[in-house]
Chains A and B, each alone.
Chain A
Amino acid sequence: NAGVTQTPKFQVLKTGQSMTLQCAQDMNHEYMSWYRQDPGMGLRLIHYSVGAGITDQGEVPNGYNVSRSTTEDFPLRLLSAAPSQTSVYFCASSRPTRANTGELFFGEGSRLTVL
């Protein structure tokens, strides 16, 4: 029962470096999303996807790119890391709205530090 798997769990970057956070789910969920968690600010939506080939911006998309070539995978790319992107990142998946009860299934999180 893997559910939502995120890698890596920890990463330290220097300002200006790029990297990709990986997210995979094995529940055949159509919807996937990325959130960042910062103290006192809760979780904020970065990007989301309602199906393969479809992505859209969330509340805080600047500095991040996503793609959805398959149902299972939804990688998050940091193009040029900045200290403001130091955060814990969560990937989540869910069923489509019609069949959904509002439940998102979350990964364990990826803690990113940008120096």
Chain B
Amino acid sequence: AQRVTQPEKLLSVFKGAPVELKCNYSYSGSPELFWYVQYSRQRLQLLLRHISRESIKGFTADLNKGETSFHLKKPFAQEEDSAMYYCALSGNAGNMLTFGGGTRLMVKP
């Protein structure tokens, strides 16, 4: 069985502070991991995927197979980063994703 855990329901930081949203997974095969974001009154959308090793809006995430983690990081948070963030894993069922419980990030001015 595959599982994604996001231990923090809420993360509150000040503008300019570093941010790390934690994600741990459980999966027996070779995982594909993603971060999705839902801004207020917008649709859930893909933020980044581990295979691309890209930086989107200043966010990066590194897959650590030893620790089974895929934490999302940004060195300097901005107020517009405030949103709900979901870590997701793609397993056997085609493109169907298993999502974590989500972390609400609040960036205070």
Q: Which residues of A contact B (CB under 8 A)?
A: 31, 33, 35, 40-45, 48, 50, 56, 58-59, 90, 94-97, 100-104, 106-109
Query: B34–A102 contact, CB under 8 A?
Result: yes
- Taken together as a complex, chains A and B put the C-alpha atoms of A63 and B12 apart, in Å, by 37
Interface size class of B (residues with CB under 8 A): 20 to 34
Residues of A within 8 A of B97 (CB): 43, 45, 102, 104
Q: Which residues of B contact A (CB under 8 A)?
A: 4, 6, 9, 32, 34, 36, 43-46, 49, 51-52, 86, 90, 93-102
Query: B101–A97 contact, CB under 8 A?
Result: no
A-B contact pairs, 9 of them (CB 8 A): A33-B96, A42-B4, A42-B86, A45-B96, A97-B95, A102-B32, A102-B90, A103-B46, A104-B46
Residues of A within 8 A of B45 (CB): 106
- Taken together as a complex, chains A and B put the C-alpha atoms of A74 and B101 apart, in Å, by 25
